[in-house]
Amino acid sequence: MNPVIGLSLGRIAIGLLALVQPALAARLFGLDVAKNPQTPYLARLFGSREVAIGTATLLARGTTRRNLILAGIGVDLADAATGVLGVQDKSVPTRTGAMLVAPAVGAVLAGFAGLRSKG
């Protein structure tokens, strides 16, 4: 599968989960909803962003698609940095940080692969 299509569909799926079941999405990423009741709100913010980026990228072509891929890479790099910072400032445990950073880095790599692929 084309990495851009796979990444876009993954964004939409994860985003929809975060919108529809925000507490479940937060728990899947290792976040403690009981200790932070605002987590579902933040998960929905994340979810709406992921659905928007994924859908826009799927619908776009040419330079617009390339620019959306680059924007997604930037967002994913920021997500990875946020996970690292969360571990450093101890706002998330190391294991949770890894669960936040790993998919973000994977998305960055998929984005770069998408930039290199034809179509």
**Tens digits of per-residue pLDDT, 2-28?**
999 999 999 999 999 999 999 999 999
Residue at token pair 């930037």: 74
- pLDDT score, position 118: 64
DSSP state of 44: H
Contact 110, 7 (CB under 8 A): yes
Task: For residue 21, give the amino acid letter.
Answer: Q
Beta carbons within 8 Å of 34's beta carbon, 6+ residues apart: none
Map out the domains of the chain as residue ranges.
3-114
**Tens digits of per-residue pLDDT, 63-114?**
999 999 999 999 999 999 999 999 999 999 999 999 999 999 999 999 999 9
- pLDDT score, position 117: 83
**Tens digits of per-residue pLDDT, 24-56?**
999 998 899 999 999 999 999 999 999 999 999
Beta carbons within 8 Å of 68's beta carbon, 6+ residues apart: 53, 56, 57, 60
Q: How far apart are CA 23 and CA 90, in angstroms?
A: 21
Nearest to 26 by CA among 18, 37, 16, 15: 18
